Amino acid sequence: MKLFDLTGRVAVVTGGNGGIGLGMALGMAEAGATIVVAGRDAAKNQAAVKQIQGAGAKASAIPVDVLEEESCRALIADTVKAHGRLDILVNNAGMSIRKQPEQYTLAEWHTVMDSNLTSAFLCSHAAYPAMKKGGAGKIINIGSMMSIFGAPFATAYAASKGGMVQMSKAMATAWAKDNIQVNAILPGWIDTALTRRAREQITGLHESVLKRTPAARWGVPDDFAGIAVFLAAAASDFVTGAAITVDGGYSVQG
């Protein structure tokens, strides 16, 4: 179906070498996109490329550290050099430092904000000229339940993820004239390396998530294939500035 066809499109996925990023990459690859996997860990990058290629799609890796401006700019420049275009940017790389606010150092604050929010600004800023030149673009920013809620251990993380939603809205208004749609996905609790660490650190987290989630399960990376394809494809051409929860109903449970 043309509405969901990504044949000939080139997609960069930061943090595409595992977890939610890889789930989205595999979905877009199945819809025909060429995937550029962009993470720090070379072994994980290569394993992800192999997995995507194994599914019959085109994929390559470009190592990136999204904490470095030059690395973000090189990622986009090298993608355009290799493929001649950039259609889809997924700003998914992210991390958390779980501490009470009073225990945070300024350096830790900046690490979380720069990994999660500034990186998305930088990659989008670098991607804009190529998307404008191509006459279209799709930017997908990964927020969180912490874009909506607060938690004692999540001061910097919640600030960064709330910022992702507001930045998406602002960029959506700025770049609509260029036919670039900018949207955010807000995942619920998903079983990945990130939350495996959280489950070790936060007693009772596993059970409380199960109890509150109407779907009665943790999410899995595959749950993000469909929403990524939708937001990357023509099907969403009139959807911009939205923040879409993919959470099994977690955020609407009273």
Q: Is 140 helix (H, G, I), strand (E, B) or coil?
A: strand
CA torsion through residues 240, 60, 160, 202, sign: positive
- Applying CB under 6 A, among 34, 168, 195, 245 the residue interacting with ligand NDP is 195
CA torsion through residues 58, 60, 65, 68, sign: negative
Our finding on whether 18 is near ligand NDP (CB under 6 A) is: yes
Bridge partner list, 34: 10
Cα–Cα distance for residue pair 36/11, rounded to 1 Å: 6
User: At its nearest, how many Å lie between ligand NDP and the CB of residue 219?
Assistant: 7
Between 194 and 243, whose beta carbon lies closer to ligand NDP? 194
Cα–Cα distance for residue pair 85/82, rounded to 1 Å: 8
The 57-96 contact track toward ligand NDP, x by CB under 6 A, reads -------xxxx------------------------xxxx-
Helices (H) and strands (E) in the chain, counts: 9, 7
Catalytic: which of 104, 128, 157, 250?
157
Which one of 13-21, 52-60, 81-89, 121-129 is the stretch in contact with ligand NDP (CB under 6 A)?
13-21
Residues 137, 143, 149, 151, Cα dihedral to 10°? -160
Return all residues near 237 (Cβ < 8 A) that are at least 6 apart: 179, 181
Between 169 and 206, whose beta carbon lies closer to ligand NDP? 206
User: At its nearest, how many Å lie between ligand NDP and the CB of residue 189?
Assistant: 5
- Applying CB under 6 A, among 74, 113, 148, 194 the residue interacting with ligand NDP is 194
Check if the beta carbon of residue 159 is closer than 8 Å to that of residue 108: no
- Applying CB under 6 A, among 27, 137, 163, 187 the residue interacting with ligand NDP is 187
Count residues binding ligand NDP (CB under 6 A): 30
Check if the beta carbon of residue 72 is closer than 8 Å to that of residue 122: yes
Between 218 and 230, whose beta carbon lies closer to ligand NDP? 218
Our finding on whether 154 is near ligand NDP (CB under 6 A) is: no
Cα–Cα distance for residue pair 234/38, rounded to 1 Å: 24
Question: Does the annotation count 157 as an active-site position?
Answer: yes
Our finding on whether 248 is near ligand NDP (CB under 6 A) is: no
Active site residues: 157
Question: Can you give the binding site for ligand NDP, defined by CB under 6 A?
Answer: 14-15, 17-21, 39-41, 44, 64-67, 92-95, 115-116, 142, 144, 187, 189-190, 192-195
